[in-house]
Amino acid sequence: MRVRAAPLVALLLSAGLIAACGGGDDEAESEAAQVPPGCEQVEAPAPKDVELKRPKGLESPSGGATATVDTSCGSFEIELAAGTKTSASFAYLVEHGVYDGTAFHRIVPDFVIQGGDPLGDGTGGPGYFVDEPPPADTEYTRGTVAMAKSQVEPPGRSGSQFFVVVGADAGLPPDYAPLGKVSAGFGTVQRIAQAGDASSGQTGTPRVPVTIDRITLERG
């Protein structure tokens, strides 16, 4: 099993056909009923084109840093790993607003929630990548935050997409660059996971949109 940054199959509904059948209100009510308790009903964000140059140096934030992720289901905090190129790149992307107004495009209940794609379909990135292979003993347990990549990319490669482990242990090989750990607000992560659709399998197509409204950084 892998966490991937690959295209997801979208299920498209024709608004015209729904309206013609007189089911528009029923559809809206059904969608509202699926929004997890504690989450806001929101629309999926429009895709964003991002093309940044790889930052020079990629020195980790001095003294470490904490990222606060504000979502349509509440907020949670990530304590970034100190001394890594991965966390330094993430901080750079936060400061450039790459994550603001994006969505969790992949939600697999009891496994992971995945976001950070400016395009919103699992194929987007920041315009550059970072390679930082993780240690062989790396584990992805509950609350671990790591960077997502496709299967064909080398271990530790990352762009902007990240995932948070929801289950006790994701059971993944040490291929994904660790970013940090959820240090507060794990209840929000669990609420987001409730927006996942078990019938979608590992593609993780959400039942309803969950947005990342803003990520802010507090340096230590």
Assess contact for 196 and 189: CB atoms under 8 A: no
pTM of structure: 0.85
What are the pLDDT digits (tens) for 14-37?
222 222 334 445 544 455 558 999
What are the pLDDT digits (tens) for 31-81?
555 899 999 999 999 999 999 999 988 877 666 799 999 999 999 999 999
The yes-or-no verdict on residue 10 having pLDDT over 70 is no
Average pLDDT, the chain: 87
pLDDT at 62: 67
Strand partners, 164: 113, 145
pLDDT at 86: 96
pLDDT at 12: 27
Under DSSP, the state recorded for 135 is P
pLDDT at 35: 95
Q: Which residues, other chains included, contact 102 with Cβ-Cβ below 8 Å and sequence gap of 6+?
A: 45, 48, 115, 116, 117, 118, 120, 211, 212
C-alpha radius of gyration, the chain, whole number: 17
Q: Distance (Å, rounded) from C-alpha 130 to C-alpha 219?
A: 21
3-state secondary structure of 4: coil
pLDDT at 30: 52
Q: Which domains, and CATH codes, for the chain?
A: 15-219 (2.40.100.10)
Strand partners, 76: 69
Strand partners, 71: 74, 212
Query: Which whole number is the average pLDDT over 164-187?
Result: 98
pLDDT at 18: 26
Q: Which tokens belong to 219?
A: 């340096």
